């Protein structure tokens, strides 16, 4: 997936530390996520499912897991 254009979070360390989440838009409705310090491991999902996950995390839906 070297053809993808990866974007780092605006909350990432400006000094280029390898400890952030990166996101790339794919074909159709697909989104790709990876950790910057493990770029060979990529999670692929749909934009709708990613949006639902992010909104659920912000709402505290997963707080019981930590």
Query: How much is the average pLDDT of 41-49?
Result: 95
Does the structure show a pLDDT above 80 at 57? Answer: yes
- pLDDT value of position 10: 76
- pLDDT digit string (tens) for 15-32? 656 678 899 998 888 999
Beta strand 38-46 pairing with 7-8: unpaired
Query: Tokens standing for 54?
Result: 């992010």
Phi, psi of 33 (to 5 degrees): -125, 145
Q: What single string gives the DSSP state of each residue in 4-50? A: S--EE-TTS-TT--S-SEEEEE-STTEEEEEETTEEEEEEEEEHHHH
> What's the whole-model pTM score?
0.75
> Is the CB of residue 13 less than 8 Å from the CB of residue 19?
yes
User: pLDDT class for 41, splitting at 50, 70, 90?
Assistant: very high
């Amino acid at each position: 997936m070297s053809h993808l254009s990866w974007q780092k979070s605006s909350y990432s360390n400006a000094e280029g530390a390898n400890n952030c989440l990166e996101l790339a838009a794919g074909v159709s409705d697909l989104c790709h996520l990876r950790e910057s310090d493990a770029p060979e491991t990529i999670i692929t999902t749909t934009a709708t499912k990613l949006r639902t996950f992010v909104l659920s995390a912000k709402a505290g839906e997963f707080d019981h897991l930590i």
